[in-house]
């Protein structure tokens, strides 16, 4: 009886571990997709704007304020203001 219970527990534990691994991979992918969506939104906010122009946008109920600056690819993108020291 003890041997059967130990086998059942081991199989259950392995199943739970495989489900958590599969869920973690899916979560990592959705984070990347979210990051790309935010980047696209930041670039869209600065469309037809000039460098240094003040802009604000709303994402998931949070208002972000900042300026349009050139990114690594030379396109205008929203950048938050530098923190005061």
Q: How far apart are the first and last CA of the chain?
A: 67
Q: Which residues contact 45 (CB under 8 A, 6 or more apart)?
A: 55, 57, 68, 78
Tokens of 4: 């059967």
pTM over 0.75: no
Tokens of 3: 């041997």
Per-residue pLDDT of 38-82, as tens digits, reads 888 888 888 898 998 999 988 888 898 999 998 888 888 888 887
């Amino acid at each position: 009886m003890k041997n059967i219970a130990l086998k059942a527990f081991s199989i259950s534990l392995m199943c739970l571990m495989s489900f958590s691994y599969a869920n973690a991979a899916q979560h990592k992918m959705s984070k990347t997709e979210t990051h790309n969506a935010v980047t696209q939104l930041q670039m869209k906010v600065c469309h037809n704007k000039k460098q240094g122009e003040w802009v604000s946008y709303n994402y998931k109920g949070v208002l972000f304020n900042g300026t349009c600056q050139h990114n690594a690819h030379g396109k205008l993108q929203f950048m938050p203001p530098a923190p005061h020291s």
